Each structure stands twice: as structure tokens, then as C-alpha cells.
Amino acid sequence: MPPAKRPTGPFTPLDFQLVLLRRMADHNPDLVEGARRELGVSVAEMREANRRWQAMLHARHTGSAVSLPCSRLRSVLGEPESTTPRRIGDLTCDALRWPVPLWPDLRFEALVAPNGVVWNEWLVRAPGAPVPKLQTLEDLTPWSCTVDEVARAFAPARPLEGTAPTRWGLAFTAPDASGLRHETAAEFTWGLLQRVGVTNPSVQHN
């Protein structure tokens, strides 16, 4: 007998986590499967959560459109755990962060402009949480680190165009455990590392 379908109701933080997972399933289906089982939901429920999320994103709304993205997040996730002013170049915004139970050491961060438009949404390290030690390619395992952590560890890193919305890429040079350096490309979904590929090995050693 198939699992009972949860009744349709308000979009919840659990549904939001399913959306995050659905975007990661193309790269790491085994990790997503384990997380889905941990949450106690079916594949059909994950797909339905993603369908509802996409419908919310593309629905026609009345009223002021500029505040919709931020209000959407607040309606789903509640009030943020923290709100911090941040300056990016000449622009000022607020960094809103919410806890994500699947990843206790991470937070979902939205950068929100003064007019309510969300500039960026991704997973970042929680304040005070241990930062992964990234020194070689072997340290870059799926779901172990975020975009900014990899960019800092292997600077200078060059941004790459993502293959889909909510996806990012970085190009950088990193050594393997033996010290051999490689030109490397890393892919991220919602700011979390998904996979790493060597594009051109070199013979330079540390």
C-alpha cells in the first residue's frame, strides 16, 4: 500500500526542505534518499512539495510585487533567526537567516534589498558552527561545505554560470593528497557543494 498522502495545506518548513532536496537529487540521489527517509516522507511527497513551490513562484499576485519574494519566505519559514545589515559594494541589504533541521550547522540565508526584493538565497555556515578544513581535493565531499568556504579555501576562485536556477559553479586550482595540483570545477545547489570534477591536472607540486 502506498504511503498516505499528507493533506494539502500551508506550505511548511518541512516542505521547504523537500524543495532543497529535490534540487540536489540530480547530483546526489543517495544522499537525498537518506535525507528523505530521515524526514519520513515519500518520493511523491517530495515531488508534490516542489510542484507547489514552483506554482507559488509563478503564480499571479495582486498588490506590490516587489515584496513578494521576502514575504513568501517569511510565510513559509516564519520570522528569521537573525537579521543582519550587510553592505555589498555601494548597496545595502539585510541578511536574513533561518535554521534548517536537516543541516544543523547551516542556515538558509536570503539577502534582501530595502524594497523587499531577494537578491540571493543559499545555505551558509551557522555562526559558531565548526568550519570544515579544506586543503585538498579529497576534502571536497558532497554536502560538506558551502560556496563561500570553497572560494576562500582555494582562492582565487572564478565563478561559473550555473546549469539551472539555484545552482552555482566555481573554477579553481587545488592540490590532491599527494600535492599534485589540478584545475578544478565545483558545482553547488542552494550554495551547498554537490560534486567536484578535475578539468586539467598539472605537474606542479606544493
- pLDDT for 74-97, tens place per residue? 889 999 999 999 888 888 899 999
Q: Which domains does the chain have, with CATH numbers?
A: 9-59 (no CATH), 65-129 (3.30.1450.10), 137-205 (3.30.1450)
The string of pLDDT tens digits covering residues 57-71 is: 776 453 433 344 678
Q: What is the pTM of this model?
A: 0.86
Q: Which three cell numbers stand for residue 129?
A: 558552527
Nearest partner of 77 among 14, 7, 165, judged by Cα? 14
Question: CB 54: neighbour CB atoms within 10 A?
Answer: 12
Question: CB 128: neighbour CB atoms within 10 A?
Answer: 6
Q: Which three cell numbers stand for residue 112?
A: 534582501
Q: What is the mean pLDDT of residues 26-52?
A: 94
The string of pLDDT tens digits covering residues 134-173 is: 999 999 999 999 999 999 999 999 999 877 778 999 999 9
pLDDT of residue 90: 83
pLDDT of residue 66: 36
Per DSSP bridges, beta strands 180-189 and 167-175 are antiparallel
Q: At residue 206, does pLDDT exceed 50?
A: no
Q: At residue 8, does pLDDT exceed 80?
A: no
**Is-contact 44 5, C-beta < 8 A?**
yes
pLDDT of residue 144: 97
CA–CA distance, 131 with 153 (Å, rounded to integer): 11
pLDDT averaged over every residue in the chain: 87
**Is-contact 137 145, C-beta < 8 A?**
no
Q: What is the mean pLDDT of residues 95-121?
A: 92
pLDDT of residue 170: 96
